[in-house]
Structure 1
Amino acid sequence: MGLSETMASPIARRRFELVTELHGRAGELLRLEPGRLRYSLGTSLAELRLPFHITPEAAALFPQSARQLALMLVSRHRELLSEGEFDHFLLVEEFSTLPALPPTLSPASGGPDTRAAADLATLTHPLLTGGVMAAWLGPGGGGRSLVALVIELLRRAFLEMRESRGREETPALVALMLSSQFPGVESALRSLELPHSLQRQLMTAAATGMYLALRLGMERVLREAQPSTELVTRIESALGPMAVLGGTKLPLTGGSLLYGCELLAGVPDAEKLVAQYPGGPPVDTVQATLGKAIAANDTLARRAELAMGLSALRESLVHAVRLGEGGGFKSALTQYLRELAIRPAALTALLADDKSRKQSSKDLRAHAETLKGTSAEALKDLATRLKEYSVKEPAAAAGLSRARAHASYAQAATAFVCDLWLERTLFPLRRMLYPRMGNEEEGGLEAEYQSGRLYQLSTRPEPILRSAVSAPVAHLFVDVKDFTRRTQLLGGAAMADFLRREFYLPILTEAKALYGGMVQLSDKGGVSVNNLLGDALSLSGTVDRLVTLAVEIRRLLVSYEKRLAQALSHEQVETALKAIEEEYDRKLQSARPGLRPILQREKESALARGRGEGLEAGVFLSFGPAPLIITLEDEVFGRSKVAIADRINESARGTARSGAARAKADAMLAQERQRRGNPSLAHPWLVFVGAPLSVQVPYAAEAEARAALKAGDLAAAMRALEQVVRDSLEEAAKQGEDAPGDIYNAGVALSEETLLAYQEAVGDNRLFCQLQVAPETLHPEIHERYFLPPEPLRLTVGFHPTGELAEVFRFAGRVMFKGLERKGGLGVWEWVDLHGVGRLFARHHASEWLRAHWRAA
């Protein structure tokens, strides 16, 4: 029998509508799409996590309101408890502050929405009277606060959804987050130590009231916002009754009438039905299946008929009581009927006693004869139902045939299956929620929330997700090369002590002088240490302070190089040099003629470093979002901090020493030394950017070439690579000389973003000039000491207000860091050491550049 032939409860009807809307579309409608979330964690859908926090005052409303409603129900139904059981609740702190409880089944106060929710409450559980529900939703009631919280949060969520132009369906996320509080409802109710004989009934009634309150708040906002059907489906699915009731146990065993009748016969094969229809159970099909299963089992059939008969009688009782409470007939009769309506055991006992049942029917008809209108009709209808009730056919009194009773029960059971399917389907979504405790990151929950990395539900009028407000900062990375070789020479312990004294402590001392006393970089500025590595150090802070620190670090590293050379004994150095000589001699003997000059230069560099002549340390500064500081607590390893930021990675990549990046400059220098007969001629720079010609050989071409070489056919191997080489040459021709390349950093380099941020930060104390200088115009003294390639120099020159040269930055080129690719590459500028070529710039050109700038201005 189809749904159209039977009547369902309002709750059941809505569950049918939701599942019908989701049928075949659950994967589309009940999912979180990373691209539509304003903030999330995880790099894939499988790893997606939504970090959120519900503030203590907001979270407390759930257990507090649940406990209060349960205590109100205990007070209302105190006659069901023994004296000792009731006295126990007098000692509960909240009991003395309960709102006044009218004894009526009908709501005694409240607006239209509150009265509608209270009226519905009387039909969902016998103990949940409309009088109690209305008082709980009224002034002083926890339900009122709960409804207000839901309304405020959903309104805020719809506002933020509009502000994101619909990109993120924030109300659906808020509904999911609120549902995370439902397990605490059951715990709060159990903490009351309700009497064992009534525990399930009281817990079910209180949890049902919680659901109705959430539903009330949700419906008010949905009425205002008028969202799409799909969004309504997502919101209501997350706040379903089974989620609030904590699963299937209470709806089946706690006297619930939520789906239209008490499910006395259970729900046959509910889990199998859910598994059978992963895309959503077809409502008519499930109802027909359950109806057949019930009819085929005599025990289930009798229980189903009894459930429908009792449900119909109770609805008649409730209708009559409401009329009596409205003044339709005497209060004594009203009280008698009300007791039957709210006491299932009393109603069952009456129906089991034929004599009492018939006498009640006769008395009700006699009362009806003294009345007129709807009151008389209601009493007559109830009298007829009592008279016609039969233990053998309990549904007949409700005007239901056995088959119709089975179908009606199957309908209620189908609503149960629909809710069970919804909860199973929502489980992956609920797992994506990531409640934060506050110990995951330095600065705690407030720091996460303020920086826009945490959804927060609060009773305060504040955004659910803030826009990121943390100011960008600079990130400095310093890296010492040849650390391993020097460790081998000095020994591990000696090198560690040397690093501590000569590398870490001096740099940290300089950093402390610039420290701003902040916990987060975004509050006062300053310098913060991110990580200390074996041969490197990472810091973050304000750009002006880190540029100052970078200059000091460079000065410290020059002194460090000299002291490190002094720390090695003559015997250690000679042993190391001999090993280097032997290593490169073996390579030179087996190398092809074309590679020998390159290996010879590598050998000379390695020998120079072994003598302590060329210890290299690079410093690179990037600029971007402040780092995320994650704290890890472990009972064995203690507390650890990890700083995460893509610009930290960029600054680390910027200290690389790619030999290919400076190969062209070294070759040109070697030629110039030979031409001039001046072996002491040097590079003026310590940072090089180059894009060496490279050929990427596909595997198929490589395999063909190797096979030809194995066969001794060199010509065939060359032919196999011919097309690859031609394609690479054509691509190189398209890119030209300005293609992004690799970096060789043995000085201080900074990204173009960092340089611009630095100019802005110190602009009040500097005058900056952008210059393009032809090398041939530089003073002869510069050319005597340094070799400058013929390309024009791009310089950014800073002057103090007094006109003195403050700093010089040279554009080194554009680089492309693997894994951190940017379109067009990253512009890199070198800070020019004022003790090197910078000193000659100051001596011979600074005043000239400043005058030219003023003339142009």
Structure 2
Amino acid sequence: HLCEEDLRNTGATPYLHLGWTATIDLLESKKGRAKHLVSRLYPWEKVEKAVGFALYSLAEAAAEQTIAPVTARRLNFDTAAYSLRLRVAMSPMALCSIRGKTLQNDISPWPLSQALADAIVPVWLSLLEEDPSPRNAEQRLLGAVIDDPDLRHQAARAAAVLLARRHVFQWLNLFDGLDSELSASLLAVLPSDEALFKLLCDSKAVLSRLQKFAKSRKADSAGELANADLFDVLRRGPEREEAIREVASAFTCLVLDRAAIGAVDDARRCLRDRRSEFTREQLIADYMAGRLYRLSADGHETRRSLARKNQGHLFIDLKGFTQRTYRAKEIVMAEFLRTEFYEPILAAAAKGADDETGSRQLVLQNLLGDAAVFSGEMPALIELAQSIQRICRAYGEKLRVRTGASGRDATERKAEIEASLRTDLERLRLEACAVEEEVGRKLSLSQLEREQQLWAQITHRINEMETSYRRALAAHDDPEARLALEAVQSLRHHEKEVFGKVENLFGQARDDYIAEMLVAQDRLRLKELQRSAAERRRAAEAQMKAAEDDVRARSGFGLEAGLFITYGAAAEVAAINDALFGLVKVAIAEGINEAARGTARNGILKARLDALVDTARVERQDPLLEYPFRVYVDSAYNLLLPTGLNDMVDRAIRGKDAELARRAAKNIAETVLRDLARAMSLGDGQPPEALSVLSEIYNTGEALSGEALAAYLTATAARRFWFRKVLAADELDAEFHELFCFLSNELELVVSVPHDGDSDNAIVFHRAGQVQFRGFEAKRPTTVYEMLRPDSPFCLLLVQKHLALWSAEARGQNRREELPT
């Protein structure tokens, strides 16, 4: 009996072959009991063959009942070719211990005598020498037998006996006992080739009796046909040349069975019935671990782990665990983890642990303080990741309710800070626009007007400072007067320098210098305004963060976790039963290690991301722009000084030795220059001394590898449609650019949509990039996709603006996409 799981995997593992081989092995062990049935009338050789062929017939009938429906189904392998190969392996010799005498005693699945088979062998070998191909072998053998008069005569007699036995058996199967005399006559000749041949040579008495029987009772169509067939075969006599094909077919089957039995025996030697070796508990444990085949009729899969040769691995890591423990201490932290982390996640995992057939989809591998590890089928892991997203949101809502007025106060305070920030930035922006307009006006003047404007501008500033100087003297403000006098002297010196340089320049160089001096003060003012805007943003962010920290300090941090899913070899569990520590289980899998790396939150990368976002906010003059994704992948350069240089820097700092510090800085610069040359393939070909590239990830969301995404898309193909969308960020609706900054103009999204087209239940994956995890340098870089949270502003806007149209376009194109890697 094969369950659906076995059938889906039969293309990769020959479960039907395995079942057949094990069945034959089992029947062989039962056949020995027939020794107790030895009769004085029949020798053991004859009994052994009869029992063996009877058991084979039983097994063959059961196998055919299994094969027939498999052949008719559309599975992921060629069922017709597979069934044919299985039938070749179904050799009757498997249950025949005395194989050198398989054609003796007139009991054989092959209707041949030993003498006839021996006579055909030379002809067969001659045919193989001419053409060793098995194709059309039976047809070629038939032609050779017909061409040989002696063989044709023997084959015609064998064919007549074959047909006679077939129709006698068919008649007895229907009418045995209804005519005791006729039945006794036919039963007497059925087992013996010689007796059947004699009956064919002299069948008048049996024919007469058969006619009377047929006339004496009314039979149904099957009975009438059986009477007619037996009457015809007896009437035709002892030779049937038109049926020689049956003999050629029988000999070909005999040759194939003899060729296949060696492979069948080899397969049987590889099987061992472990029931006599292990306890029931050990058998169950080994079966569950995929180390044993289980052959039964109860519907369970033959080998559990075969369908899970590869599986997904989910690693979730709680953010800020160390800070939480430091603030709240261990007892409070343990209670927090139990109620807000462990119990909700385990409850969510339990819902998807088994499918509708009872097959296990998820396994909890470990709990590690602030982390958890699950392994299982990709659809179940994705559903668990979505549940974890909901758990994080639910805890956030709980915090908002718990904080009450303080939370509302913080929200109002943040709104006030944002409003004030917008007002100040708008004022600075308007002033910057005015300065830029003034720069444009000055640069649009003619060359003569620019020069006149420059001297007038310098003279005006000198006059302003002189006025300030006289005012300070009149007020007896000596410090202010001294500063004003220094400013006047500096401006007069500057005027002299500019005049001297202008007099020594000619043509375009003179014009460019005058233009540069004319707008120099304006450009300085623009830089001051930009610096003021940046400082104002930083101050507002600090104020908002302080408000958030205040709420967190009162109510505890929100629940924020990094999650990563990989796909690869199934975890191997090592069980250690220690007398002191009890049963300890350790799950070992490369995918678990890789998933743990994927939850990293690299500080250098975070600083780089923040700097890029700040730059975008400055350029766009919008302090509220956000990066829309929670997973960021990038590379950063790292400087790790060689031991000698590191010691030199350490000595310079500890000894406060300026000269040694200068030498250390020079050596560091030279080392970095050498490494840069090597990186550009311009150096000496040696590995870098200090400069290295860190390929890292900053993950505060839900991410998965390209292999894991491909496995999920494949596993859900029956109920979900997916497509890839690669586009420039500029192609998104304008509203996206009002809210978000995109660090790359190209976006690659993979979208999984239910077949009913419900975009609200779409799952969107964003390609974050490639990362080379430490410890996995021998493996190609991992492609990282972020599973976007459905309630995120970016995802909500995507559903609103684009997703339905993209989905319809993808369905209309109906092209086969390459799976992510």
TM bucket normalised to smaller: 0.3 to 0.5
Return the TM-score normalized by structure 2: 0.42
Higher helix proportion, which one?
A: 2
Give TM-score scaled by structure 1 length. Answer: 0.40
Q: Which has the larger radius of gyration?
A: 2
